[in-house]
Structure 1
Amino acid sequence: MEAGRPKALVTGASAGIGKEAAAALARAGYAVTAAARRRELVEELAAALRAEGHAAEALALDVADLGAARTAVQEAGPFAALINNAGIIGPLAPLAEADPDEFARCLAVNLAGAWNMAAAVLPGMAAAGGGAIINLSSGAADAPVEGLAAYCASKAGLAMLTRAVDLEHGEAGVFCCGLRPGMAATAMQDEIRASGVDNRIARVAKDQLLDPGIAARAAVYLVKERPTRWRGAEPDVRDPQFQQDAGL
């Protein structure tokens, strides 16, 4: 990585919002580490960004593994910014019929994974006098959806984790907020529709889904500007005030 550029770590960077956010941060001048479980996909992204003249590296990482998270940050950090984007949607089933192992895995990735990554980067951010942590959230954090109990619970927990990070580290210069991307056109939306679960999300026409690049641009704005208005909050890319602030 090039010296002098602030470092940013993006999880779940193999596709969708994570991939778009990693690219947007690299193009905004950050030295980006694109992390995901499938190394070949983030290697492809990092290579493409380097070909454009940007600083980017790939990292194979399961955020649910705390030891792996700490090792990754020790070896590739310290980071000025973290985008906690890694997440899964399943199990896609009524609560009483859901596979308990899939339920536990959803919480391990979406909630514990975000905690693992935040805990790993915070010491470096504190030593540097600040940083930014953006947690990809969802309207499901406070509005339950049929067949998505695990996902909704994980996002509700993530919203409180965001507030806890702000409470403990906000005054010391670490900006933390959630980011609600709306219903973006990602693989998660395909999974919901393929599952056969009938809920308000599945009934939205695919041509009405948002470009994941919108959330990526919003994430770059939050990382760079660290706006006090949104500290510990969960701005939504569809909110007119946030759109105005972020120039979306």
Structure 2
Amino acid sequence: MPSPLLGQRALVTGGARGIGLAAVRALAALGAEVTFTARTPESRDAALREIGAEAADRVSGVICDITDRARLAEAIAPGFDVLVNNAAVVTPIGRITDLSTEAFAQAIETNLIAQFDAIRLALPAMLSRGRGTIINISSGAGHRPQEGWSAYCAGKAGLAMLTRSVHLEYGADGIRVFGIAPGVVDTGMQGVIRASGINPVSQLPRSALAPAEQPGQAVAWLCTPAADALLGQELDIRAPDLREAVGLPPLA
């Protein structure tokens, strides 16, 4: 069976660990040539060691803080068929009166403005080819507020509307776009959440968290024609029909 993404080039932001790294591996397994961003050489090299020989010839990492607009432009300049907007922060965590405007603004810069910038920079190459896929890693927090997460919720809510805007403006030009909420996943971000002790999500035991491989597999599936019926939508990985289509086990 031919690899469905053979010949396609993908960029995954924040791909050195967690959901991003799982998406890198899943995309490479479907034949894509994958580049991921990492903030430090150490995290990039650790991710490449973890990937190992399984996809060493199809995966590379670049050093890029996505809020550095010049560096982000350099990373995207080669042109990609797939963009996965994964890099994000959950901090600052705290009630609104406990937050600084500067910390709130930095979260919006990372979780929304940099995502917009990545899309803006990636679109010209996609449009010139008449096709491209953009996947924004969304969150249920973009639709349901959580105590202490005002910055994160606001950024993810904006990202959900950005997904819909891309579909409205460029869907007819061959640009496939999705938002996907990955659920509560066992990543480093969840460690930060648990340490905060704020809101019910922080109280979840680690055993209740999903493995990162599940949203990684979903991201790769969305890059294939099998997902075309869902174009432009905000998706939730916990939806039974989506899990069945992706090939994930049903939730207990």
Do both share a fold (TM > 0.5)? yes
Alignment-derived partner of residue 75 in structure 2: 72
Alignment-derived partner of residue 63 in structure 1: 66
Task: Give the total of aligned pairs.
Answer: 242
Instruction: Give the drift of 1:48.
Output: 5.0
Deviations 1:61-96 (A, max 9, x none): 11112222211111xx21010110000001110011
Q: Which blocks of at least 5 consecutive residues in structure 2 are unaligned?
A: 1-5
Please give the TM-score of this superposition, normalised by the length of structure 1: 0.93
Q: Which blocks of at least 5 consecutive residues in structure 1 are unaligned?
A: none
Q: Is the 8 A contact 2:167 2:176 kept in 1?
A: yes
Q: Is the 8 A contact 1:49 1:55 kept in 2?
A: no
Alignment-derived partner of residue 109 in structure 1: 110
Output the amino acid matched with 2:7. Answer: R
Deviations 1:181-221 (A, max 9, x none): 00001111110111232x12112222101111100000000
Q: Secondary structure at the match of 1:125?
A: helix
The residue correspondences of 1:31-46 to structure 2 (distance < 5 A) are 31-46=33-48
Q: Is the 8 A contact 1:50 1:56 kept in 2?
A: no
Please give the TM-score of this superposition, normalised by the length of structure 2: 0.91
Query: Percent of aligned pairs with the same residue?
Result: 36
Alignment-derived partner of residue 209 in structure 2: 209
Output the amino acid matched with 1:215. Answer: P
Q: Is the 8 A contact 1:14 1:38 kept in 2?
A: no
The residue correspondences of 1:195-206 to structure 2 (distance < 5 A) are 195-197=196-198, 199-206=199-206
Q: Is the 8 A contact 2:195 2:202 kept in 1?
A: no
Instruction: Give the drift of 1:173.
Output: 0.7
Alignment-derived partner of residue 93 in structure 2: 92
Output the amino acid matched with 2:60. Answer: E
Q: Secondary structure at the match of 1:64?
A: coil
Instruction: Give the drift of 1:44.
Output: 3.2
Instruction: Give the drift of 1:140.
Output: 0.4
Say what the alpha-carbon RMSD is for the aligned residues. Answer: 1.5
Alignment-derived partner of residue 131 in structure 1: 132
Q: Is the 8 A contact 1:36 1:86 kept in 2?
A: no
1:153 is the counterpart of 2:154: yes
Q: Is the 8 A contact 1:162 1:178 kept in 2?
A: yes
Q: Secondary structure at the match of 1:9?
A: strand
Q: Secondary structure at the match of 2:223?
A: helix
